[in-house]
Structure 1
Amino acid sequence: MKYFGTDGIRGKALVKLTPELAFKVGQSLKPVINPKMIIIGGDTRQSSPLLGLSIANGAMLAGIDVLYCGITSTPMLAHYAKVNHALGIMITASHNPFTDNGIKIFHNETKLANNLEIKIEDFIDSNEIIKSPTYGSFRFVDDVEETYLKLYNQINMTQTKFKVGYDSANGANYLIAKKVFDVIAPNSIQIGNTPDGLNINKGVGSMHLESISSLVKTHHLDFGFAFDGDADRLNLVDQNHIYDGDFIVYMIGKYLKSKNQLPNNKVVLTKMSNPGMLEALSNLGIGYTLTDVGDKYVLDAMLKEGLVVGGESSGHILLTHLIHSGDGLLAATYLLSILTELNMTPEEYTKEVKLYPLKTINIPNVSKDSINHPKVINVKEEVLEMLGDKSLLLLRPSGTEPLIRLTVSHENSSLVEKAIETLRNVIEEVNR
C-alpha cells in the first residue's frame, strides 16, 4: 500500500507525514468508518502534537467529536478508546528516531483492517474535503491514566525482592512506568526518563539494549526492562543475557500452563521465531501457531483460536486476558510478579531453552520482487530441503528500503552460513 505499512502510517515527520496528510486522515474517518467520536494521543516526539491536532482538525470539520489525551503510551490510548467505545488514534513512530512519526488507528479493539486502510488511502489521494453543517467538538481529557491503572488490579502487585531497572526510551511511558514500578519495585532505577522532543529512542530503549545492560551491570541489578518509544514493546536483560519477545512469551506461557490457565496449551509467535525456542515450547507440551511478522497478525490468530499469550521476537507482547493490545509495561509487571512468586530469575526459569544459531543479513540494492523470481524460488526450495524441518528460512522485502532481508536458523551453524551464501548469490544474480 502507498501509506500504510504493517503498523499504520509511518514516515519522515513533516516531510512525508505532513500536517496536510494528517488532516486528510482525520477527514477520511467520516466516510470510511463514520465514528461519532475519536480519541487522539501521542508520544514525546516534537512533531506529535502538530500531527495529532491536524487529524483533529480534519475530523472536526467532518463533524466528528475529538477527545485529546496529549502524551500517552499506545496501550493506554488503545485501552481508553476501548473503554469509551471510540476510535483511537495514536501519533507515534514507535522505536524509530524523533525525525520519523506515524499514525496508528485502533478500530473495534484492534488495529485497522486492511480493507479500511485501502479506503483511507483512496480518500487521502482524492481532492474531496468534507465540511459538516455541525462542527465536531474538542475536549482535553485527564482520566486516561486513572482508567489504565485499573488494569493492574488483575495482577498480584506485591513488592518484589529483585533489584530491577527499566528504560523508558525517553518516550511515552516515562511517567506511568515510574508510578507502576514505584509500587512493585520501589527501589528500582529508571533511565530514559528525560524526554525533550528530540531524544526519543536515542541511545536508549528496546533498540539500544546496551543502555539497560550497562545499568544492570553497573548497579549489580538482577535484571532490567527496556521499552520502546510508544511503550508497546518490551525486552529483558540480566547480567549475561538478552531475553527477546519470544523468551517473554515462553516464560509467561510456561507459567500459565503450570497453573492450567493456558487455553489449549498453545501460544502464538511469528515465522521469525528461533527453532530452538519452538523446540523448547514443544518439550513443555505447549503448541504454537506461527504468523507473519506484525503484532496485528499475532492478535488476529489469538482471537481466532481463543488464545491469551502471543508475541514477536521484537518485543511486542500480547496478553489478551489482561488487555486487548500489546503493552510492554503491563507485560513487564506481569512477568515480574511471576518471577517474584516463583522466586526465580529469568536465567533460572529459561535454563532449558537452547537457541539455534540464527543469522539475518540485508541484501541491498535489489528489486523486492526478486523473492518471486522462478530461479530464487527454486533455490529456496532446495535450501529448505537441505535444512530440514527444524529450521527457519525467511525472505522478506523491506517496507521502507530497496533491500531484502534474509534470515536463516539451524542447529548446525555451517549450514546457516551455506544457506545464507547460496540465497544471497542467487538474489544478486537475478538482479544483474
Structure 2
Amino acid sequence: MSRKYFGTDGVRGRVGQFPITPDFVMRLGYAAGRVLASSDPAKRATVIIGKDTRLSGYMLEAALEAGLSAAGVDVLLTGPMPTPAVAYLTRALRAQIGIVITASHNPFEDNGIKFFSAEGTKLPDEVELAIEAEMDKPLEVISPARLGKARRINDAPGRYIEFCKSAFPNALDLRGMKIVLDCANGATYHVATPVFHELGAEVVAIGNHPDGLNINLNCGSTHPEGLCAAVIEHGADLGIAFDGDGDRVMMADAHGRLLDGDQLLYIIAMHRQQRGRLQGGVVGTLMTNLALEHALAAAGIPFARAKVGDRYVLELLAEQDWQLGGENSGHILCLDKHSSGDGIIAALQVLHAMLSQNMSLAALGAQLVLYPQVLINVKVQQRLDLTTPALQQAVQQAEARLNGQGRVLLRASGTEPKIRVMVEGQDGVLVQQLAEQIAQVVSSLA
C-alpha cells in the first residue's frame, strides 16, 4: 500500500505549505499518539521530540506537543539536537517513539518530521500506514485527567556527547591533532566541539552560530568549500563537516582536499577488514561511485546496492546481516556503534583508522581514486515518466558511448521536485558531456 503523507524519510516540505503547517502537524502528532495508545492501552506512552535550529522548529514543536498531549501521550523535549541523538535517546530513555523536526540538508524555509521506533530505527511500514489511517479520523481529545504531560530533558546534550565518545577506543586519544569542525549552523553546533575536544583534539569550530535562518547556508557538508579553506587557513590536520541535522559527514584532509561518503566508507571498511572486524560486506546505493565497488571487490569485500536513502541502506544491511553501509552524500551507518546514521560517530571511525594505522587522512584517502561522476538536478513541474521513449533513447545512447566503463542513472528526488541525472565513468570529459545531453532531454520533457 502506498503512503499518502510519508516519504522516504518522514514528512517534509516548505513551511506554511501543506503538509508543513501547524494544523497538519498537530494532527500528525495526535495520530501518532493514537497509534501508540492503542498498541498497549495498559501503559502510558512517552515520545521524545528533538529539532534542528530552524526558526520554524518552535512552531512545529508546539503543534506536535499539542497533538500528542490530546492523545494522552507524554512528551520529552530535547531542544536542538542532532537526528542521531534523538535516535539514541529514544532507546536510552525507553521511549516508544522519537520524533525529529528537521529538513536535514535543505534550506531553512523547509522543514519536516522524522520518526524513530523504540529501537532507534526508522518506523516500520505498518506503523507509518497506521498513523496515516488515524489522520483520516476525527480528532477527539482524550479526557482532561488523561492528557499527556511535557517536560524538557536538560541533560540531553551531555548524554549524547558521552555516547559519541564511547564509540571511540578508550586506548586512543586525539591529542596533538588540530581539527576544523563545520557544524552547518545546525543541530551539532553545541555537541560536536565537546566530543572532539574532550577526546584531546584542538578544535576550530565554524558554522556554529545558528540564528534560525542560516542552517546549511553556504556551510556544512553540502557546501564544504568553507571547511576546505579553513583547514588550510588554520594549518589543521583535517576538517569535518556535518549537515543541518548531523546525520551526514564529509571530511577534508590537511591539503584541503574533500573526501565524500564513498571514500570515508572505504577507509572504515578496509580498517575493519584488516582488524577482522568487518561483518559480511558493505551496502552502498545506486549513487555509490563505481570505483568503490571495484575497490571493495579487489579486497574481497562483498558489496550490494540499495535504493537511495539511508532507510533502504538500513533495510538491506538487516537483510544481509551486515553492519556497515552508507551513501556518497555522507550518510554512513555503523550498526555496531549506533542504530542510525551519525556524522560524529562516522568521523570518529575514520579517526580510529588513521591513528591505529599511523596514517594521515590524505594518505588513506589516496587509496581510493573515485571515477568522475556528474550529477545534474533538473527541476520539474510535475511527475515525469522516466520510461518516456525519448529519454530512454538518450540513456541508451550514453551507455553505448561509455562502452561498459561507466553508468547512467536517472531517478526522481524523494524530497524535492527534481529529476537527478547521474553519469559516471573513467573519462571525465565524456561523462560531463553525456550528463548535460541527458539533462537537456529531461528539461525538454519537463
Determine the structure 2 residue equivalent to 1:13: 15
Once the two structures are superposed, residues 176-222 of structure 1 have per-residue CA deviations (whole angstroms, 9 ceiling, x without a partner) of 11211112243221111111222222222111111111110111112
Over 3 Å counting, the alpha-carbon distance change for 1:180 and 1:363 in structure 2 is: closer
1:73 maps to which of 74, 82, 85: 82
Shift of 1:426: 5.0
2:327 is matched with: 312
1:205-284 equivalences in 2 (<5 Å): 205-238=220-253, 239-264=255-280, 266-284=281-299
Structure 1 pair 208/414, CA: closer, same or farther in 2 (3 Å)? closer
Structure 2 CA distance, aligned partners of 1:63 and 1:330? 35
Structure 1 residues 428 and 159, CA gap change in structure 2 (3 angstroms)? closer
Mean CA deviation greater in 51-60 or 152-161: 152-161
2:166 matches 1:153: yes
Aligned to 1:89: 99
- For residues 234 and 19 of structure 1, what CA distance do their matches in structure 2 show? 31
Task: Map 1:27-426; keep pairs closer than 5 Å.
Answer: 27-34=30-37, 36-86=45-95, 87-107=97-117, 108-124=119-135, 126=136, 128-133=138-143, 134-148=146-160, 149-156=162-169, 157-238=172-253, 239-264=255-280, 266-365=281-380, 368-377=383-392, 379-381=394-396, 383-384=398-399, 386-399=401-414, 401-417=416-432, 419-420=434-435, 423-424=438-439, 426=441
How far off is 1:367 after superposition? 5.1
What count of residue pairs does the alignment treat as equivalent? Answer: 429
Quickly say closer, same or farther: Cα 1:44–1:379, change in 2 above 3 A: closer
Structure 1 residues 285, 390: CA separation in 2 closer, same or farther (over 3 Å shift)? farther
Q: Distance in 2 between matches of 1:72 and 1:50?
A: 16
| Identity across matched positions, percent | 36
Q: Which shows bigger deviation, 254-263 or 418-427?
A: 418-427
Moved more, 158-167 or 138-147: 138-147
More moved, 273-282 vs 7-16: 7-16
Q: Is the 8 A contact 1:162 1:340 kept in 2?
A: no
- Asked if structure 2 preserves the Cα contact closer than 8 Å seen for 1:43 and 1:73, the reply is yes
Task: Tell me how far apart the structure 2 counterparts of residues 160 and 269 of structure 1 sit (CA, whole Å).
Answer: 33
Q: Hey, what's the Cα distance between the residues in 2 that align with 1:311 and 1:39? A: 26
- Aligned-partner residue type, residue 103 of structure 2: A
Q: 247-256 vs 177-186, which deviates more?
A: 177-186
SS in 1 for 2:384: helix
Matches of 2:270 and 2:362 in 1, distance apart?
14
Q: CA deviation at 1:115?
A: 4.2
Does the 8 Å CA contact 1:98/1:200 hold for their aligned counterparts?
yes
User: 1:230/1:366 Cα in 2 relative to 1: closer, same or farther (>3 Å)?
Assistant: closer
Please tell me whether the aligned partners of residues 160 and 337 of structure 1 are also in contact (alpha carbons under 8 angstroms).
no
User: In the aligned structure 1, how far is the partner of 2:293 from the partner of 2:243?
Assistant: 25
Aligned in 2, Cα 1:240/1:71: closer, same or farther, shift over 3 Å? closer
Which deviates further from its counterpart, 370-379 or 242-251?
Answer: 370-379
Deviations 1:390-414 (A, max 9, x none): 4222101234554422101011235
* d(CA) in 2 for partners of 1:137, 1:367: 42
Shift of the 118–383 alpha-carbon distance from structure 1 to 2, 3 Å rule, reads: farther
CA distance in 1, matches of 2:441, 2:202: 54
83-92 or 245-254, which moves further after superposition? 83-92
Q: Check whether the contact 1:40–1:68 (CA below 8 A) recurs between aligned residues.
A: yes
Letter in 2 for 1:155: F
Measure the CA separation in 2 of the matches of 1:428 and 1:419: 14
Taking only aligned residues, the RMSD between alpha carbons, in angstroms, comes to 2.3
TM-score of the superposed pair, with normalisation by structure 2: 0.89
Q: Contact 2:379–2:417 (CA<8 Å) still a contact in 1?
A: yes
Give 3-state SS (helix, strand or coil) of 1:105's partner.
strand
Say whether the 8 Å CA contact 1:370–1:427 is kept in structure 2: no
**Mapped partners of 1:377, 1:122: distance in 2:** 37
User: 2:173, 2:377 → 1: CA distance?
Assistant: 45
Residues 380 and 443 of structure 2 are in contact (CA less than 8 Å); yes or no, is this contact kept in structure 1?
no
8 Å CA contact 2:71, 2:147 repeated in 1: yes
Any idea what SS the aligned residue of 1:290 has?
strand
Residues 402/46 of structure 1: CA separation in 2 closer, same or farther (3 Å cut):
closer
Query: Deviation at 1:119?
Result: 4.0
SS where residue 318 of structure 1 aligns? strand
TM-superposed deviation, 1:366? 6.6
1:41–1:90 CA contact under 8 A, matched in 2: yes
SS in 1 for 2:141: coil
The one-letter code matched in structure 2 to 1:197 is G
Paired AA for residue 345 in structure 2:
L
Cα distance change, pair 18–425 in 1 and its aligned pair in 2 (3 A): closer
In 1, the alpha carbon distance for the partners of 2:77 and 2:275 equals 41
* Partner Cα distance (2:185, 2:155) in 1: 22
1:415, distance to aligned residue in structure 2 (A) = 4.2
Answer yes or no: is the 8 Å Cα contact 2:48–2:78 preserved in 1: yes
Counterpart AA for 1:291:
A
